[in-house]
Amino acid sequence: MLEIKNLHASINGKEILKGIDLSVKAGEIHAIMGPNGSGKSTLSSVLVGNPAFTVTEGSVTFNGKDLLAMEPEDRSREGIFLSFQYPVEIPGVSMVNFMRAAVNEHRKYKGLEPVSATDFLKLMREKRAVVDLDNKLASRSVNEGFSGGEKKRNEIFQMAMLEPKLAILDETDSGLDIDALRVVASGVNKLKTADNAIIVITHYQRLLDYIKPDIVHVLYKGRIVKTAGPELALELEEKGYDWIKNTIDN
Amino acid sequence: MEDTNNILNEVTSGEYKYGFVTDIDTDVIHRGLDEATVRLISAKKKEPDWLLEFRLKAFRHWQTLEMPTWAHLRIPPIDYQDIIYYAAPKKKEGPKSMDEIDPELMKTFDKLGIPLHERAQLSGMAVDAVMDSVSVKTTFKNTLAEKGIIFCSFSEAVQHHPDLVQQYLGSVVSYRDNFFAALNSAVFSDGSFVYIPKGVRCPMELSTYFRINAQGTGQFERTLIVADDEAYVSYLEGCTAPMRDENQLHAAIVEIIANEHAEVKYSTVQNWYPGDKEGKGGIYNFVTKRGLCKGEGSKISWTQVETGSAITWKYPSCILAGDNSVGEFYSVAVTNNYQQADTGTKMIHLGKNTRSTIVSKGISAGHSQNSYRGLVKVSPRAEGARNHSQCDSLLLSSTCGAHTFPYADIQNETAVVEHEATTSKISEEQLFYCRQRGISVEEAVGLIVNGYAREVMNKLPMEFAVEAQKLLTISLEGSVG
């Protein structure tokens, strides 16, 4: 599904990603872990086409298409979803209008008619249940006045609405208490099928207790330095990132 | 940052959709303005002597005035002798019924989305269509007449309801009020007249659509709305003009009178041709709009969505004379490219326990200048007056300007007057968030801008809210940054 080859990227002339290789297949859950500043969030930003970052080398294909040649909105329509670490507030724009615009743009891309108001509201109701999102939140402005946990729930709700092929969860666990973490994780698990894939980016192991990865990668200084099964996450938790740092830096 | 600027620039460089010209024979008078012109206009409209006198007094007063210079506007010199003050689409020859309209005119208004056949109309809306200096057609006149409501062109009102017109004309906006008011009072040609009798709730939206078509002309319309005791009316005004390199002058007057417990809602969707991307051409929109809350407990509410015109000078105001009367002003003003707007309101509290609300949302893009100017005045006897003003500016480029000039003149110490102001930008994060969800940049800017203006857009009648939302998005195509 996703093939990343020798990906280099920089921001303001400073190289952050220094040759990433990664292959994700349908049905898989990958976890990308690493210490702060290792390039985890840069990787997710580059994959969704955040204009703040420049790709200097390498290639990314998504279901055979050149992902890097696509505008961010087309990447979304092709089925890539990012659950933002810090979801932004958009005052005055109701979640309903926002989601309807998004859903209809996705439909247009597929050559479908815009969804009817009744069907749309039905869809909203159904998907809200996935993360137990309050109806009141859905009628408020996008993320405005939402607590940290509500924002993350709202991200997963949007994921449920857009049914992406590849979802990237960027530090979705940050700022969540244990109850909220459970709700969010169980929402993600409900959305997991054999046809889609998930990349979980996280600093800590705890999210992986709830969303079980098939493969764990460790990112350090802009490179993937270690790849293994789920046991790697536990080992990291136990030994800390210094273990990786010492191995690599020495 | 550069990327976002470029994207926003592309998004806000849209095309004006109503810039076509109707090819129709037009009866135009000579250029220039003197007493003879005023007499000629009055004669063409077969007006009574008192009205001619009114015009002449206004004209003589106008000659003593200078154009106002206090607004935050750069207005190129206007040669008032180079303007045509009267232009009327010619009636085709041959015997015809009064109601018959030139098919070309029908087509024009159809194209503008204003069908003049009653059966083709949006139900629940009556329209007075004005092209250049004359009213072309007023729909649903008879339906409304059954309730005693008068809705007709101003010229018709002068002929059929002279006493009402004479009683109220100039009673809210005197010809001595300002330069453009004096000019309008001298040369006004047509417009709408509305009278809602006592206790009647007008069953449909009333609407006037103004269209400038002829070249070299100015449009000087006059609207007079009178709501008698406990009457209610919602009135809507729309306007467009062809795309031309020349600047055309539009100097209108709107007067509203609300008697005891009457309520008038006046909504404007102003979309005069704004000029091209380099600032060439466009309408000068110099308008005096004022409502008098004459009776106790009366209410006048102005809602405006201003997207057009090269230069806008306009302050829809309320005089709150009746005790417990209410004045409201909700405004969204969008300027793009080289447009300039100096707009706002005056709330004059005279009666006891009068209340006013001001919500102004300025959106500036390109190289435009957008100013809010507002006065809240509380007279010594206006015990318990209250005002809340909120003025927000949204900047979509680094080359535009947004300015706020709030004035307060409070002469009663029981008054409570509050003013809030904010300035914001569309952030790159907001845009990117939308794009990541599959929403294109244009759509995203439209969503965000409409969200920003939502409080005002919600005040528009349903039928026009959707159009106005689209208009906001279109007028900003190609401009954020």
Q: Which two tokens stand for residue A222?
A: 């802009």
Q: Quickly list H helices, chain A.
A: 40-47, 72-78, 95-109, 117-128, 135-139, 148-162, 178-191, 231-239, 241-249
Interchain contact, B450 vs A101, CB within 8 Å: no
The whole-angstrom distance between B135's CA and the closest CA on chain A is 39
Length of chain A: 250
Q: Which two tokens stand for residue B12?
A: 């806000």
Q: What angle do CA B388, B389, B391 make, to 5 degrees?
A: 155
Q: Please report the residues numbered 122 through 161 in chain A whose beta carbons come closer than 8 angstroms to any beta carbon of chain B.
A: 141-142, 158
Which residues, including other chains, have CB under 8 Å from residue B106's CB and lie 6 or more apart? B116, B117
Q: Which residues pair with A82 in a beta bridge?
A: A168
Q: Which two tokens stand for residue A32?
A: 């990308």
Contact A203, A85 (CB under 8 A): no
Strand, helix or coil for residue B210: strand
Beta carbon pairs, A and B, within 8 Å:
78
pLDDT score, position B11 = 47
Strand, helix or coil for residue A198: strand
Separation CA A227–CA A216 (nearest Å): 6
pLDDT score, position B167 = 96
Give the β-pairing of A54-62 and A29-33.
unpaired
pLDDT score, position B98 = 43
Q: Which residues pair with B422 in a beta bridge?
A: B392
Strand, helix or coil for residue A12: coil
In this predicted model, what pLDDT tens digit does every residue of A4-14 receive, in sequence order? 999 999 999 99
Contact B365, B336 (CB under 8 A): yes
pLDDT score, position B54 = 96
pLDDT score, position B481 = 44
pTM of the model: 0.83
Of B387, B441, B435, the C-alpha closest to B410 is B387
Q: What is the mean pLDDT of chain A?
A: 92
Separation CA A12–CA B73 (nearest Å): 40
pLDDT score, position B97 = 46
Give the β-pairing of A215-220 and A223-228.
antiparallel
pLDDT score, position A138 = 74
pLDDT score, position B278 = 86
**Helix, strand, coil share of chain A (percent; to 5):** 40, 30, 30
Best B6, B8, B427, B435 member to test A by mutation, with max A CBs in 10 Å, is: B435
pLDDT score, position B458 = 85
* One-letter amino acid for residue B349 of the chain: H
Contact B361, B458 (CB under 8 A): no
What DSSP assignment string belongs to B122-185? PTTEEEEEEETTEEEEETTHHHHHTTT-EEEEHHHHHHH-HHHHHHHTTSSS-TTS-HHHHHHH
Separation CA A219–CA A202 (nearest Å): 11
Average pLDDT per block of 10 residues along chain B, 481 residues long = 48 62 74 92 93 96 93 91 83 51 70 62 64 68 88 92 96 96 93 94 85 76 96 86 76 96 93 84 92 98 91 96 98 92 97 97 92 96 96 91 94 95 90 96 88 87 74 69 44
- Give the closest of B430, B436, B453 to A48, CB-based: B436
The whole-angstrom distance between A154's CA and the closest CA on chain B is 13
Separation CA A152–CA A181 (nearest Å): 9
In this predicted model, what pLDDT tens digit does every residue of A172-223 receive, in sequence order? 988 888 888 999 999 999 999 999 999 999 988 888 989 999 999 999 999 9
Separation CA B222–CA B244 (nearest Å): 24
Separation CA A209–CA A248 (nearest Å): 27
Predicted ipTM beyond 0.85: yes
pLDDT score, position B114 = 66
B50 touches chain A (CB under 8 A): no
Separation CA B44–CA B27 (nearest Å): 11
Backbone dihedral angles phi then psi of residue B166, each to the nearest 5 degrees: -65, -35
B426 touches chain A (CB under 8 A): no
Separation CA B196–CA B348 (nearest Å): 24
Contact B417, B410 (CB under 8 A): yes
Q: Which residues pair with B335 in a beta bridge?
A: B364
Interchain contact, A106 vs B450, CB within 8 Å: no
A82 touches chain B (CB under 8 A): yes
Report which of residues B215 and A78 the model is more confident about: A78
Contact B366, B480 (CB under 8 A): no
List of chain A residues whose C-beta atoms are within 8 Å of the C-beta of residue B428? 51-52
Separation CA B110–CA B395 (nearest Å): 35
Across residues A85-92, what is the average pLDDT? 93
The whole-angstrom distance between B444's CA and the closest CA on chain A is 9
Give the β-pairing of A197-202 and A29-33.
parallel
Question: Taking 80 as the threshold, does the pLDDT of residue A250 lie above it?
Answer: no
Separation CA A122–CA A127 (nearest Å): 9
Q: Which two tokens stand for residue A224?
A: 């993937």
* One-letter amino acid for residue B63 of the chain: Q
Interchain contact, B440 vs A50, CB within 8 Å: no
